[in-house]
Amino acid sequence: MGVADLFDSLRPKSETISDGVTLLRGFADSGAVYELMQQVARHAPFRNQITPGGHIIKVATTNCGALGWTSGPGGYRYRPDDPETGLPWPAMPAQLANIATEAAEAGGFPGYHPNACLINLYAPGLKLSSHQDKNERDRRWPVVTVSIGVPATFQLFGDSRSGKPINILLQDGDVLVMGGASRMAYHGVKALAAGQHPLTGDKRYSLTFRVT
């Protein structure tokens, strides 16, 4: 075991970051998640959506579950069909839903049954600007994020869009639960640093589960 791995193994498996925010290190079996995600992407390929203002969203996305998060000239919205294919989004694999349910429970939200899962694909250098997840109608439930591949720094800003964030390193298999008092917290992801992961190469994936 190298020194970095040794320090990693000494970090707590479950950590309360702030009110309603729990980090579960290595909670998900990333090999299994990666395989299921590839199956989703065979039916609903990753694509670059366009913001309502006409800009390309460089982080590529797809969805699984009853509803999928979409962006276009008409705004941001959840819809049951994939606008690229006209087909319903692929069903949410039970194994993925279970990870989200168990993580939410570990974070203090028992009985979580997400009906939407947005999957983001980050190439090196891509970031996600600070935002709130506010397109969901039901804010009682947390957003649960599973990270796969190259590590990224998640930034939790809180009540205001900018300022000094709490930086959270999200590594392969880590799960972040964000709900309760922090459900509407501003957050973002720093530009993906160069890295290599045996499953994903130089990429990072995040699966964000929601109830909407």
Instruction: Catalog residues that contact ligand SIN under the rule CB under 6 A.
Output: 120, 128, 145, 154, 170, 187, 189, 206, 208
154 binds, among ligand SIN, Fe ion, none (CB under 5 to 8 A by kind): ligand SIN
Whose tokens are 């392969």? That residue is 172
d(CA 108, CA 20): 8
Q: What SS3 state is found at 157?
A: strand
Residue closer to ligand SIN, measured from CB, 71 or 101: 71
The CA-CA-CA angle for residues 55, 184, 146, to 5°, reads 75
Strands 152-158 and 75-79: unpaired
d(CA 178, CA 156): 10
Residue closer to ligand SIN, measured from CB, 110 or 163: 163
* Residue least distant from Fe ion (Cβ): 133
145 binds, among ligand SIN, Fe ion, none (CB under 5 to 8 A by kind): ligand SIN
Residue closer to Fe ion, measured from CB, 133 or 174: 133
Q: How far is the CB of 143 from Fe ion (least distance, A)?
A: 7
Residue closer to ligand SIN, measured from CB, 36 or 116: 116
**Residue 112 contacts residue 118 (beta carbons within 8 Å):** no
Q: How far is the CB of 9 from Fe ion (least distance, A)?
A: 29
Stretch that binds Fe ion, among 16-24, 62-70, 130-138, 146-154 (CB under 5 A): 130-138
133 binds Fe ion (CB under 5 A): yes
Residue closer to ligand SIN, measured from CB, 134 or 164: 134
How many contiguous H segments (helices) and E segments (strands) does the chain have? Answer: 3, 13
Residue closer to ligand SIN, measured from CB, 36 or 176: 176
d(CA 62, CA 89): 9
Q: How far is the CB of 193 from ligand SIN (least distance, A)?
A: 14
**Residue 152 contacts residue 192 (beta carbons within 8 Å):** yes
Q: How far is the CB of 133 from Fe ion (least distance, A)?
A: 4
128 binds, among ligand SIN, Fe ion, none (CB under 5 to 8 A by kind): ligand SIN
* DSSP per-residue string spanning 132-143: -----S--SSPE
Nearest Cα to 133, choosing from 114, 152, 148, 150?
A: 114
Question: Which stretches of the chain bind Fe ion, using CB under 5 A?
Answer: 133
